Structure 1
């Protein structure tokens, strides 16, 4: 049996297509993971659950930013702790247990953010800024980190919190301290490096807050629409008996 060049053509095309498909397939970047089930969810509506997950993601995002800021500004954690890990743990514990941060002089939410980003602030600016930003977000959620059926959220407060995060990130990147240097080293753009990881993390927090604010607003509008749909469904969309 003689095999000609035309016999190889379909096989060649098939191999080329498979190789092209393999080359264009993205590298794996992990899988989406849901939170572990908990009996506490029995007291949560869908909105409560979404708000709780978003809050946890935002706090974790701020903890990640704190770690990255400490790595770029090691002199900050040395003002209050013996190690970077100890400084991270102190801020996390204070936030999770809703304890005040001593260097913020009793100030809360936006007042605390203004103090932490002041040119003359002498304390651990990383800890103060992250604590104040997290506190502002928690205050916008009604001073809660976890949400249940009895809890309500104000969409405008969530929207305002998103804008506050944007403002805080902009001040951090643009304002100078009393010595003329940056408040903190964060993103870096140079001829040899382009590191915008801080901006991306702040953007994720802003996005979650904006989405939750929109969702809360839509919830009440959709409740009215669902009521009308149920009325119509009761009259027009039921099957009729045939026997």
Structure 2
């Protein structure tokens, strides 16, 4: 039998050449587009009175309120007739009024003195004729703050109820569904928000609401874990005092 012919390119050479081509291609590709950086807050003396969970709850509340303010602006842009019911000076002025009422824990007059979930139900009622964007955002914010014990900052003396946080997340899920499904007496959506059609796919509202819901669920789990770990730590301390002691060697 004749001798088997060998390829002029050995297997190691082929592997090396493939790796080299991949490396060159990687170096030639454009760098990724910058998408921002994580911005940590500056340390404040008040943090000395906060546990890790307190700080997490404070940051989550700030982010949730910021999400609501972003949603308010987006909803006003898609529903300009709403902000005109609150301010004749423009959209920005209407937003300032809503934010101030939330920050100062003031009731929103069109909600007729209702707070928490009662205010949310009124804001999503088909017959509600006032600024629905302002009423909805104010009601959601009031419901979230109520679920956090009426506070937006948390310290060592504060406690959180995990079930209330969990319930707030479920309430928001229901509110988002109602906002998308309910119709006014004229048969139109209560507010224009997410949109999916042949030429456009805009789900930014749903994504922002989803962030708020996820933060609430995470904080509820962390709060539950905090108390569970405290019990475990206490039991471990008792066990350690008995079994984890050094013995005399002389």
Q: Same fold (TM over 0.5)?
A: yes
Corresponding residue for residue 106 of structure 2: 99
> What count of residue pairs does the alignment treat as equivalent?
240
**How many angstroms apart in 1 are the aligned matches of 2:35 and 2:114?**
41
Show the 5 A alignment for 1:8-23: 10=16, 13-20=19-26, 23=29
Within the candidate set 23, 36, 50, 1:44 is matched to 50
Within the candidate set 149, 152, 163, 1:156 is matched to 163
Corresponding residue for residue 68 of structure 2: 62
Show the 5 A alignment for 1:103-182: 103-182=110-189
- Residues 22 and 171 of structure 1, relative CA distance in 2, 3 Å threshold: farther
CA deviation after TM superposition for structure 1 residue 229, in Å: 2.6
Q: Deviations over 1:130-167 (max 9, x none)?
A: 00000000011111111111111111111110011101
Corresponding residue for residue 34 of structure 2: 28
**How many angstroms apart in 2 are the aligned matches of 1:202 and 1:148?**
27
Flag structure 1 segments of 5+ consecutive residues without an equivalent. none
Q: Which SS does the other structure have where 1:123 is aligned?
A: coil
CA deviation after TM superposition for structure 1 residue 213, in Å: 0.8
Q: Which one has a bigger Cα radius of gyration? A: 2
Flag structure 2 segments of 5+ consecutive residues without an equivalent. 1-7
1:221 aligns with 2:236: no
- Residues 242 and 14 of structure 1, relative CA distance in 2, 3 Å threshold: farther
CA deviation after TM superposition for structure 1 residue 16, in Å: 2.0
**How many angstroms apart in 2 are the aligned matches of 1:216 and 1:120?**
39
**How many angstroms apart in 2 are the aligned matches of 1:58 and 1:123?**
24
- TM-score, normalised with respect to structure 1: 0.90
Q: Deviations over 1:88-120 (max 9, x none)?
A: 111101100111111111000111011111111
CA deviation after TM superposition for structure 1 residue 241, in Å: 8.6
CA RMSD after TM alignment: 2.5
